[in-house]
Amino acid sequence: MMSESETATDLSVMDLYNHLTAQGETVRNLKTNKAPKVDIDAAVQLLLKMKVDYKQVTGQDYKAGCPPVDGLVSIDNDSAVEEGDDQVDPWTVSTSNAKGVDYDKLIVRFGSSKIDQELVDRIARVTGKTPHHFLRRGIFFSHRDMHQILDAYEKQKSFYLYTGRGPSSEAMHVGHLIPFIFTKWLQDAFDVPLVIQLTDDEKYLWKDLSQEECHRYAVENAKDIIACGFDVNKTFIFSDMDYMGSSPSFYRNVVKIQKHVTFNQVKGIFGFTDSDCIGKISFPAIQAAPSFSNSFPQIFGDRKDVQCLIPCAIDQDPYFRMTRDVAPRIGYPKPALLHSTFFPALQGAQTKMSASDANSSIFLTDTPKQIKNKVNKHAFSGGKDTVEEHRKFGGNPDVDVSFMYLTFFLEDDEQLEKIRQDYSSGALLTGELKKCLIETLQPMITAHQEKRKLVTDETVKQFMSPRKLHFNS
């Protein structure tokens, strides 16, 4: 008997390809002829849907001018980029849209799955906990294989968490905390071990910094990470420079991955060129290795089958598309992923917050006064120019950075919804909205600073020593 998907495959992949090409042409024509926006949107929607179907049937991404190839599975899912698309990769995040990156489109482009209400409800059922507001509000919005993690978990088969940070400076900003706040919630909700990679090697290769500086930033950043409240009995934090050299098992996995990924593939995925140093070219294998449990024998013994779940911002996905592609070829399970949106810059959601631009960032070291000044001075406002206009027409929370930050940090759903309504109706003025944000951020950052002060060198050493962790396997 033939299954439905097999029938679909027989429906001539070439036909699908031709229809898609024609639809691409239609969209272009509508745009050039300045057709009504509804018509363009409808045509783009159809195009996106056809791309998803095409991907499902062929396992390949649609590329204009490249008919489907039998048996060739492209791992560069991001190759279907079109002019005007948002740019999202480990080094650049930018869009021309004030509302920020179009995340639904990104899901299609990257070939991941949306975190829908059903998945959020399922996480609530399985953990018996109210899902974190990052899940409830779509801040973690996309995933790969999360249902599989939950299926196994329900059958008492546990998993481990892996996340990381590139220590490029001592100064961490509030956006950097997002994956760690969420990972801490996951660790508590599922009661699982966690490994945190500090890629001091990566920052040495990419930035104009010495090895000593990168390593020092790694240790300093570890303090901010520890201050998020991780359980020392269940968490291993490591610097690549230290751990790689001391762990034969980790290095063996790095080499295995290196053997199974070609230069062509990393060029396609990361855009490396012939003049990039070979350190950069082989680095993705180092970010991939922690996805496999036998990279940590002190934690998992020789088990290579403990599945990994990686919470990260969506710009890190290219690393893990590569990892998921090699995993079955070297006999390991593919890591699952939970992707977050970006934390917008103060100046607007066209870019993410960047530590190298002091005015775009709220740092974890800022004083209450600095926070107040930065928000008042720099936070992009969706309000109207005058109070009269604002009262009459209301503000736009969708482009307002203060409102966006409140969706990240104000925990009370009802209060947030009231702010949204009052701001939209004009009852709440921009100054008042900013005041809400300032009053949310100030105590949060002061609390962080107090927790960080309690992190001693001894504590850091404990977290960063390879050792057994306590968990139920």
Using CB under 6 A, list all residues that contact ligand TRP: 163-166, 197, 199, 202, 287, 310, 312, 316
From residue 399, alpha-carbon distances to 52, 299, 439 in Å are 29, 45, 20
Tracing tokens 């404990």 back to the chain, one arrives at 462
CA atoms 421, 422, 423, 427: torsion sign: positive
Closer residue to ligand TRP (CB): 68 or 166: 166
DSSP codes, 340-374: E-PPEETTEEEEE--TT-GGG--BTT--HHHHHHH
We find the least distance from the C-beta atom of residue 163 to ligand TRP, in angstroms, to be 4
In contact, 299 and 327? CB cutoff 8 Å: no
The residues, any chain, with a CB within 8 Å of residue 278's CB and separated by 6 or more, are none
For residues 163 and 238, is the Cβ–Cβ distance under 8 A? no
Closest CB to ligand TRP among residues 58, 361: 361
Cα separation of 395 and 399, whole Å? Answer: 9
C-beta of residue 142 within 8 angstroms of C-beta of residue 106: yes
- Give the pair of three-digit tokens for residue 7: 């029938």
Shortest separation between residue 378's beta carbon and ligand TRP, angstroms: 24
Measured from the CB of residue 222, what is the shortest distance to ligand TRP in angstroms? 13
- Compute the least distance from the CB of residue 285 to ligand TRP, in Å: 12
- Closer by beta carbon to ligand TRP, 338 or else 379: 338
Which is closer to ligand TRP, CB of 166 or CB of 395?
166
Beta sheet of 348-352, edge-to-edge order: 87-88, 93-94, 348-352, 344-345
List the strands of the sheet with 140-144, edge to edge: 113-114, 140-144, 336-340, 307-313, 159-165, 194-198, 235-239
62 or 180: whose CB is closer to ligand TRP? 180
- Adjacent-strand bridge partners of 348: 345
Complex with ligand TRP: residue 93 or 433, whichever CB lies closer:
93
Say which amino acid occupies 355: A
Nearer to ligand TRP, 90 or 100 (CB): 90
Minimum CB separation of residue 25 from ligand TRP in Å reads 38
Q: How far is the CB of 227 from ligand TRP (least distance, A)?
A: 18
Is the CB of residue 181 less than 8 Å from the CB of residue 313? no
Between residues 160 and 380, which has the closer beta carbon with respect to ligand TRP? 160
Nearer Cβ to ligand TRP (163/440): 163
DSSP state of 78: G
CB of 273 to ligand TRP, least distance (A): 19
Place of tokens 């004030």: 98
Contact yes or no for 130/188 (Cβ under 8 A): no
**Residue 225 · residue 165 · CB < 8 Å:** yes
Q: Taking the complex as a whole, how short is the minimal distance between the CB of residue 165 and ligand TRP, in angstroms? A: 5
Q: Which is nearer to ligand TRP, 77 or 221 (CB)?
A: 221
Closer of 103 and 162 to ligand TRP (Cβ): 162
Cβ of residue 53: shortest distance to ligand TRP, in angstroms?
30
Question: CA 325 to CA 314: how far, in whole Å?
Answer: 17
CB atoms within 10 A of CB 62: 22
Q: How far is the CB of 220 from ligand TRP (least distance, A)?
A: 15
Helix (H) or strand (E) holding 40: helix 37-58
* Minimum distance of ligand TRP from residue 343's CB (angstroms): 13
